[in-house]
Structures are given as C-alpha cells and as structure tokens.
Amino acid sequence: MRSGFGRYEAMIQPARGSGVVTGFFLYTGAYYGTRHDEIDVEFLGRDTTRLHAAWFVDGQLQNRFVDLGFDAADRPRRYAFEWSATALRWFVEDKLVLEITEQDARLPKVPGYLFLNLWAADKSIASWSGETVSDHAAKAVFDWVRFIPLPQSAS
C-alpha cells in the first residue's frame, strides 16, 4: 500500500563497513507505474557519524549529508522524516536536523512504498558508498517503524 504525506519514523542501528548502506525510505517509480519520487534516510557504513538525507523528484536526485555528532552504529536511535506538500524535514531523536521547503527545491509529490534495507553497493557507486569488502559481514537493526498520516488540513 502506498502512503503519502505524513511522518515516517524508525528505530535504527545502521551497519558499519565500507560499501554497506543502511536505508529507510519512501520509494515509487517505473516498476510501480509512476514517476521516480523518493525520500531517504541512509547511512553509509564507511562513516556512520553522518546521515545521508536524499530525495528524488521525477528521477532527479537532491541530497545533503548531516553530521550527527555521534556514531549512529553504536546503538539504535529514532530517525524520522516528515513529508508535506510544502516541506521535507529530517529528525534525529525528535531534533530537526534538516529542512527543505518548496522554495529551496522541488519536492516529491507521488505517494510511495516504505522500505527498510541493508545492501552492499556496486563498484559503480564506490565513490559515494566506499568499496565493498567481499568478506565483510554487516548487520543493521530495525527495531520498529511507523507512519503517521498528516491531517487532511495540514497536507
């Protein structure tokens, strides 16, 4: 089931390791018969002291790295993003760490499917993710996830 405007939260302890990516994201695209819109909370295992906040609008990537001031891989913490018609906001333990408004950039508009994953990156994106190490074992913890729709008047 697709979901739209609202708050998306998860308790996550991302994996460490070069070439390993832990993700919590809303996605839609050609596979689902829609344009590619996406909103991401990602952790690159090569540096889990930063959160990678990204969003796609019709396949076009925009992104920012947020310094956390701690190592996210040390223990589970609550991460969230809020999506409305006028803004995207990313949170760490309920603290706003990034806000993008429609004045700053185009925003996703297509409802999507919620995903949580851990994956080893292909060599073609190693400059972003780091080089994947073939004998490295990685573990991410997703304790829980939830979606809270925005009231109709707020969207």
Please report the pLDDT score of residue 136 as a whole number: 84
Does the domain spanning 6-149 belong to CATH 3.40.30.10? no
Whether 99 sits among the annotated catalytic residues: the reply is no
| Active-site residue, selected from the candidate residues 9, 38, 99, 102 | 38
- Compute how many other C-beta atoms are within 10 angstroms of the C-beta atom of residue 151: 9
Residue owning tokens 């829609």: 34
Please report the pLDDT score of residue 152 as a whole number: 63
| Active-site residue, selected from the candidate residues 42, 93, 99, 131 | 42
Residue 25 and residue 113: Cα distance in Å, rounded? 8
What is the tens place of the pLDDT at every residue in 77-94? 999 999 999 999 999 999
Average pLDDT value for residue range 95-99: 98
Q: Closest by alpha carbon to 45, among 76, 68, 13?
A: 13
Whether 82 sits among the annotated catalytic residues: the reply is no
Structure tokens at 128: 């972003």
